[in-house]
Structure formats: C-alpha cells, structure tokens
Structure 1
Amino acid sequence: MSRDTLHLTVAAIVCYQQRFLLVEEIDKLTGKRVLNQPAGHVEPDEDLLTAVARELQEETGLQLQPCAWLGLSQLQAANGHRYVRINFVFEPQALPHFYAPQDSDILALHWLDTAQIAKSTLPLRSQLVSDAIALYQQGIRLPLMLIQPPR
C-alpha cells in the first residue's frame, strides 16, 4: 500500500465501572509492548459496525454490539501512513469473565482505570487511545443511527 493511502480503522472503547478494556500487543514499528484499544482495519465490503464487532471478538473473544460512537480521529503515523479511526462505545452490563483472543498478536487483556493507565509501565500505542478515553469521559456519545448503512 502506498503512503498516500488513507487507512480506515475502527476501535472499541469498552468500559465497565470506569475501567477500560485494553489489549497488550507488540507495536510492529518499534517492537515494544504497548497498550491499545481493540482495533483494526475495516475489511473490503464490510460495514463499520460489523468491523468493530469483529475486531473486538478477534482481539478479546467478546461478542458485544456497540451502543454509540465517539466520532472520527485522524493520525499521521511515524511510518508516514495516514489513518482515520472511528471509535465505538461498548458498555457491557456485567464484567465478562471469559476471554479468548483469536488474534495471536494479543499478549494480554487488561481492565484499567485512567489512573492505572497513566501509571502503567506500558505506553499507549498512540495518542488516539488517550484521546478516545478522554472523549468517552467527557460524555461524548453519538447515536449509531447517524452512521448510514451501506448502499
């Protein structure tokens, strides 16, 4: 893919009792362990809601549906690639007790509050993670009906 390509990605903000579900993975650019939201690229012919539910299931084993979205974020990555990320909100009614990541890149799953995230020895994969958490904490919730289905 050329560096001029705009990458469309989705990410999950999963929050239960003020704790956020983050995945621990290896940053492919730096080779270091990082914390990230469950996230990934939208596949060809895949709608946004299906994509985020698929990414969440692949990276955590959880089968949940989003209840809202936070808007669009943009990133010019260190490798020169440009990304647009759409953050979706998941608010499980109970703490899930079973996790089965299907993605071998996921090293561990962590439920962390913002103080624990700030004190973690693992850095966040990008500023987009902390931006999404901040938007969530500000009460931003856009209705899913604002996302038009594919035509």
Structure 2
Amino acid sequence: MNWQPHITVATVVEDDGKFLFVEEFKAGSQVLNQPAGHLEAHETLSQAALRETLEETAWEVELTGVVGIYLYTAPSNGVTYQRICFAAKPVRHHPDRPLDSDITRAVWLTREQLLAEPQRWRSELVPRCLDDYLAGPLHSLELLRN
C-alpha cells in the first residue's frame, strides 16, 4: 500500500476581530475555509502560506506565528492531510487580482458568523484552527526549519 499524507498550509488572518475566509465550491456546495492549499515543490512552508493566501484572497499578509500542526483524515475520501496553520496580519489588498478558479470570493467574518454555519465548513479544521489561534499561544516562526 502506498500511503502518503498531503502536506497543506492554512492561514488565520485577523483584522479588528474579523477573520479572512475563502468561499469555495466543493462537492456541489459553497464551503468556507481559511486560505489554504498544498505545499509545492521547492517552496518553504512559509512561502506556501503566503502564496496560497495571495492566490485565494488577493491579500498580501505578514506571517506572525504558527498556530499549530494538525493531522486530519477526511471522512469523505480517507485522504490524510498534515496542515500547518499560520497566523498572519493583512498588509495589502489587490482588489483587481483574479482569485484561484475554485474560489468564489474572499470574505471577512467574525468567529460567531463562522460558527453559525457549521454545514458550510470545509472541514472541522476550520473552526479548530480559529479557536486554537484565539486560545493561543502562537508559536514562533523559528519553529520551522527550512
């Protein structure tokens, strides 16, 4: 058996009590997720988080820490994902930049707005990463060794 986890990154971006999410079309529904995606060849985890956030939201961000490292097996297909979740603050928005093709829009929501729609979460990691960010502590970016 050839089992291989998928390495992904996600970013919790906060601005004045609101958090940046993406609305994407998955399995016939619009779901909410942090800006997230797969690590690509020859990039660091930090570079992947910055790239994915820009591609999916048109926001440049500054990474401020590591929220956590998660292992998640999707019940829908049995695929295992290792997610490294970062914290970030917004730096610059590029409103004319096109978003990734599977992204409907980027949206700023409060925690309460996110929790009000559990049927729209991409996975249980969406609220978990947010709550872990809010509970702290944030881990230093120095934790990552490139």
Query: What is the TM-score of this pair, normalised by structure 2?
Result: 0.90
For residue 89 of structure 2, what is the amino acid of its counterpart?
Answer: E
Amino acid at match of 2:21: L
Q: Give the alignment partner of residue 68 of structure 1, picking from 65, 70, 81.
A: 65
The separation in 2 between residues aligned to 1:35 and 1:12, in whole angstroms, is 13
Cα deviation digits, residues 59-112 of structure 1 (max 9, x gap)? 011122211011201111120111000001012368x58363430111011110
User: 1:89 is matched by which residue type in structure 2?
Assistant: A
Are 2:115 and 2:127, in contact at CA under 8 Å, matched by a contact in 1? no
Residue 19 of structure 2 corresponds to residue 20 of structure 1: yes
C-alpha RMSD over aligned residues: 2.0
Q: In the comparison of the two structures, how many residue pairs are matched?
A: 145
Runs of 4+ in 1 over 6 A off after TM superposition: none
- Using structure 1 for the length normalisation, give the TM-score: 0.87
Cα distance in 1 for residues equivalent to 2:65 and 2:46: 10
Show structure 1 runs of 5+ residues with no match.
none
Of Structure 1 and Structure 2, the greater strand share is in 2
Residue number among 50, 56, 59 corresponding to 1:59 in the alignment: 56
Q: Quote the residue 1:40 is aligned against.
A: 37
How big is the shift at 1:3? 6.8
- Whether 1:100 aligns to 2:97 is yes
Please state how far the C-alpha of 1:32 moved relative to its aligned partner.
Answer: 1.1
Q: CA distance change for structure 1 residues 18 and 99 in 2, over 3 Å: closer, same or farther?
A: farther
More displaced stretch, 113-122 vs 13-22: 113-122
Contact 2:67 2:136 in 1 (8 A): no
In the alignment, is the contact (CA less than 8 A) between 2:12 and 2:34 conserved in 1? Answer: yes
Classify the secondary structure of the residue corresponding to 1:104.
coil
Cα distance in 1 for partners of 2:35, 2:111 equals 17
Provide the C-alpha distance between the structure 2 equivalents of 1:140 and 1:121, rounded to a whole number of angstroms.
25
